Structure 1
Amino acid sequence: MRIFDEEFDMRSYIKKRLLEIDNLESRRVFTSVVEGMFLELHGEIEAEYKGLEQRVFEEVPMPVEGPAIITNIIDRRLYDVTDDFLLPMRPEDMRPHQVDAEALLTSLNEKSPFFLYTVFLQADHLEACQFDRPERNFRGVIKTRHSEYTAQFHVRRNLAYRRQIEDLYRIFHLNYLPWRSVCAPYLYKLFDVYIDGIENWNAQEMIEEAVIDFEEYAPAIRYHQVPLWNLETVAIRTSTYPEPCVDKINYEHRIFRHKFQEDARYLVTNSDVSVANIRWTKGDLLITCPLEDPVTWEMYQCNPQAKREYPNRLMGNAKQVSFADTLMGVFRQPIKTKLELSRLIQACGYERDLTFAGVELVANFPDKETYIVDDFIRDELRTGTWKTAMRLDFQPADYDFYLNRDIMSFLVGVVQRHFPEYECCGRLV
């Protein structure tokens, strides 16, 4: 980012000023002097200034950060299998779900709910909380080739994909990278549908379809939805024979840069190897571990954002870095003012959806409109329990956008990392 955001065109400015000189002879002299000397001097000064600016930027080290994680969701029937940017979080989602009739019969005989499939609720966070009631039953029909049977169903929040985000927290630490909260609102609107019972069901028949009456939630239910992210699972083997380290315990495994995609970033994901250090040197990856033989390393390839069109919005945690923010990160300056807090929120890149409207410290905030995106972090050190809440107010650009409170939860989560002494909550105003 340039120190001065607006580019000043000196030539255009001079042309406008020339038109204000009525005397043609004076205008000719002015043009000769300016173009012959002043513009050349201005060009030299601008070039020197840009060089000085670049040297200042290069002397300030950029803070080490993890790769940007981008999420989305799409109808399985609309997904392009040649997409090399976003991939299914679970590859098995691309296969149509088949109901195991034998497992269903066993489950019903044991009076145990049987998982049917996962649905997406395209609704606001507060409405999703009302939908999340396992004690509520829905009526529906099970269709086979020859018959239809009345059945009872209930829903539970799907947590499988959110556990993959939780595993990313471990992977970031494995790669010696500071954690970055992930903006994945679609994952909080996935619900698993379970069959509680089927009336007079003939266990010999194969289930072809289950039609459920979700009552007031029916208009918001979406089927065949597949969560996506920009992480691709790859395996890369150590390029050379590992070199022993001076500690006589570990070995340094090197992977040459030509094995990596040039514009992608990589995260080592091996959970079965005790990794002592991970570092990058001139594009090569060096992994220190006790294994003395070459290893096939499991990795996430973090694909850079591509210009592709999707039915739903891309949601990411990329940070808009400014020179001032870089200096704050280098010198570890804490956030002390509302202006600095506003700049932190704006850097998340969602200002076109939510505008930060204010902050207030309150004794309690019972009617919470946000959830904790990093609720899986349990090793954070805090000084006692929360006694004060920090309430963040946001004004939405579109009050009907169903992801408003989910985006707000992500922004509140970013702020929470900077203020562990407060319970950070958000509300729409």
Structure 2
Amino acid sequence: MKDIIRDRLNKMEDLEQRRMLKDVMTGLFLNLVEYQETLNRQIEERVFNELEPEEVRHDVYASLCPREELDPLHEFLYPMVPGDSEPQFINLAEVAAALSKQEEMKLCTLFLQCDTSQIRSLARSKRQFKGEMITSGGRYEITVRLKQSSVYTGRIEELYRIFRKNSLPWKTVHIPYAYKFMDCILISCASEWDNQETVKQISIQLEELEPYKHMNLVPIWNIQRMEMKIGGFPVPAADRVNYEHVLPLRRTGTEHGYLVDGEEANIRYIKRSEEEITVVSPLDKSDSWTMLKVTRPMNSGIGRMHYPLLSNRRQEGYIGRYIRQAGSPVRSKGGIARLTGAFEVSREVELEDVKILPPGQEIPLTYELNSFVSDQVRVQTDKYRMRLLFRAVARDRSLAGSYLSDDVLSFLVSEVQLIFPEYRCEGAWV
């Protein structure tokens, strides 16, 4: 409307009439137009907020940070494993005992900034590398092999179990950093040490992989484990068998997401409202419950990210939210394209084609992120393959062509796999 008024004013040749009409429009009509636009915007936001699903509060964000730069007061990021914030200690007596029994002994964990194919090839090769362990008593030559670490991927699987306890729908978590950590397993040592010595430093020479090696990196995410006290005492539930434990959220923030963690036998079901969570449990006494707080990200403008902040957050419009909330099944290539294009990380890739192929044994480019989601109904062998072909787009080049490109495809394909369990989904570049 403002453009129409401006166009009409510019076409008036009489400057005096133009001035008078401009004064009238500016003093009265434009205020009405701005008021109407404000109301329209408020109605639009209200409709969008009504369709905003609860799962938005449980979006998972993750990044990497050097151990020495971990901020214990960060606004929303915490170590995936709380013990990572402490200096790592190696007990040489335990190492010696493991060597004598020919058992696996992890010395340290390192991060390889490589793509998926390099990590996979290294894990299959079982190569051995030379290194050095510096202690308070001297230097010792050691031989190690690398094994893909399960510490951080295990945390993702644990998160899935907690989602199930809370009866919340699972959405694939996009933390590619967790799959690039390697455990250094000690194979042998050139000489014996005194078990009373303390380890000062461990260095591993990875030959051609040396430029990709990073020590003392810690994966961080927006999930914090905490103990939350109940507000008052447990009261009998409506069934007169269980008890309601009310957990107020005002003090910790109602804008965040919360997951109740505990013994599955002690949780019948969970009720949620804007300001509290009610756990219905057979327990008649409980002072507090273990909670996972999924913190909503915020930008203070002070800290900086050493590695890209990645998430499984969707950025879809009104139609996408409406279709997903209505539970409409995906039956076409367009539906799959809408699904894969709804995430923040999909801004650099675009679905080109979908092909259905007969069963095969070839190893795909992508890997499964939800391998812990069991399917006890369908037979896993002899499944037809759904190959999703993607192409890179030039909207944002921060990840395109980097060591994380294949991980982005794996995330999108794993999300499609949840929708089509009757196929074995795999991704590839065009």
3-state SS of paired residue (2:259): strand
In the other structure, the counterpart of 1:286 is: 278
Structure 1 CA distance for aligned equivalents of residues 136 and 32 of structure 2: 85
Q: Which stretch of structure 1 is more off in the superposition, 17-26 or 277-286?
A: 17-26
Structure 1 CA distance for aligned equivalents of residues 82 and 366 of structure 2: 30
Q: CA deviation at 1:121?
A: 0.3
Are the aligned partners of 2:312 and 2:345 in contact in 1 as well (CA < 8 Å)?
Answer: no
Structure 2 CA distance for aligned equivalents of residues 281 and 232 of structure 1: 20
Q: CA deviation at 1:376?
A: 0.5
Structure 2 CA distance for aligned equivalents of residues 45 and 116 of structure 1: 66
1:348-380: CA deviations, max 9, x gaps? 112333233332222257341110000011146
**Does residue 112 of structure 2 align to residue 116 of structure 1?**
no
Counterpart AA for 1:331: A
In the other structure, the counterpart of 1:346 is: 341
Q: CA deviation at 1:135?
A: 2.7
Q: CA deviation at 1:336?
A: 2.7
Q: Within 5 Å, which residues of 2 pair with 1:306-345? A: 306-307=298-299, 308-345=303-340
1:128 to 119, 144, 152: 119
Counterpart AA for 2:228: I
2:287 to 280, 288, 295: 295
Q: CA deviation at 1:18?
A: 2.6
Are the aligned partners of 1:64 and 1:177 in contact in 2 as well (CA < 8 Å)?
Answer: no
Q: Which stretch of structure 1 is more off in the superposition, 155-164 or 105-114?
A: 105-114
Q: CA deviation at 1:409?
A: 0.6
1:68-111: CA deviations, max 9, x gaps? 11111111012222213111111211222222111111112122
1:99-146: CA deviations, max 9, x gaps? 211111111212223210000000111111112146321122233345
**Does residue 205 of structure 2 align to residue 213 of structure 1?**
yes
Give the CA RMSD over aligned residues.
Answer: 2.7
3-state SS of paired residue (2:182): strand
How many residues align structurally? 419
Unaligned runs of 5+ in 2: none
3-state SS of paired residue (1:211): strand
**Does residue 165 of structure 2 align to residue 165 of structure 1?**
no
Tell me: CA distance 1:159–1:37, structure 2 relative to 1, closer, same or farther (3 Å): same
Structure 2 CA distance for aligned equivalents of residues 295 and 379 of structure 1: 37
Q: Which stretch of structure 1 is more off in the superposition, 74-83 or 368-377?
A: 74-83
TM-score norm. by structure 1 comes to: 0.88
3-state SS of paired residue (2:266): coil
In the other structure, the counterpart of 1:423 is: 424
TM-score norm. by structure 2 comes to: 0.88
Are the aligned partners of 2:142 and 2:190 in contact in 1 as well (CA < 8 Å)?
Answer: yes
**Does residue 227 of structure 2 align to residue 235 of structure 1?**
yes
3-state SS of paired residue (1:371): coil
- Give the fraction of aligned pairs with identical amino acids, expressed as a percent: 29
Structure 2 CA distance for aligned equivalents of residues 212 and 48 of structure 1: 63
Q: CA deviation at 1:381?
A: 4.0
Tell me: CA distance 1:241–1:23, structure 2 relative to 1, closer, same or farther (3 Å): same
2:391 to 370, 375, 395: 395
Structure 1 CA distance for aligned equivalents of residues 134 and 37 of structure 2: 75
In the other structure, the counterpart of 1:6 is: none
**Does residue 150 of structure 2 align to residue 149 of structure 1?**
no
3-state SS of paired residue (2:98): helix
In the other structure, the counterpart of 1:271 is: 263
Tell me: CA distance 1:387–1:183, structure 2 relative to 1, closer, same or farther (3 Å): same
Structure 1 CA distance for aligned equivalents of residues 75 and 31 of structure 2: 48
1:124-170: CA deviations, max 9, x gaps? 11111112146321122233345433321101110011111111111
Tell me: CA distance 1:51–1:134, structure 2 relative to 1, closer, same or farther (3 Å): closer
Counterpart AA for 1:178: P
Structure 2 CA distance for aligned equivalents of residues 179 and 380 of structure 1: 17
Structure 1 CA distance for aligned equivalents of residues 63 and 329 of structure 2: 33
Q: CA deviation at 1:43?
A: 5.5
**Does residue 393 of structure 2 align to residue 404 of structure 1?**
no
Q: Which stretch of structure 1 is more off in the superposition, 30-39 or 342-351?
A: 30-39
Are the aligned partners of 1:244 and 1:252 in contact in 2 as well (CA < 8 Å)?
Answer: yes
Structure 2 CA distance for aligned equivalents of residues 72 and 290 of structure 1: 39
1:254 to 236, 246, 265: 246
Tell me: CA distance 1:150–1:177, structure 2 relative to 1, closer, same or farther (3 Å): same
3-state SS of paired residue (2:245): strand
Structure 2 CA distance for aligned equivalents of residues 157 and 385 of structure 1: 25
Structure 2 CA distance for aligned equivalents of residues 300 and 228 of structure 1: 14
Structure 2 CA distance for aligned equivalents of residues 30 and 338 of structure 1: 54
Tell me: CA distance 1:28–1:97, structure 2 relative to 1, closer, same or farther (3 Å): closer
Structure 2 CA distance for aligned equivalents of residues 210 and 294 of structure 1: 46
1:204-259: CA deviations, max 9, x gaps? 55443332221111110100011111111111122122221232210111123434
Structure 2 CA distance for aligned equivalents of residues 329 and 401 of structure 1: 31
3-state SS of paired residue (2:322): helix
Counterpart AA for 1:359: V
1:377 to 370, 373, 381: 373
Counterpart AA for 1:416: Q
Q: CA deviation at 1:21?
A: 4.0
Structure 2 CA distance for aligned equivalents of residues 16 and 351 of structure 1: 40
Structure 2 CA distance for aligned equivalents of residues 73 and 32 of structure 1: 57
Tell me: CA distance 1:325–1:142, structure 2 relative to 1, closer, same or farther (3 Å): same
Structure 1 CA distance for aligned equivalents of residues 330 and 170 of structure 2: 18
Counterpart AA for 2:357: V
3-state SS of paired residue (1:248): coil
3-state SS of paired residue (2:58): coil
Are the aligned partners of 1:185 and 1:406 in contact in 2 as well (CA < 8 Å)?
Answer: yes
In the other structure, the counterpart of 1:413 is: 414
Structure 1 CA distance for aligned equivalents of residues 401 and 316 of structure 2: 30
Structure 1 CA distance for aligned equivalents of residues 229 and 169 of structure 2: 26
Q: Which stretch of structure 1 is more off in the superposition, 110-119 or 352-361?
A: 352-361
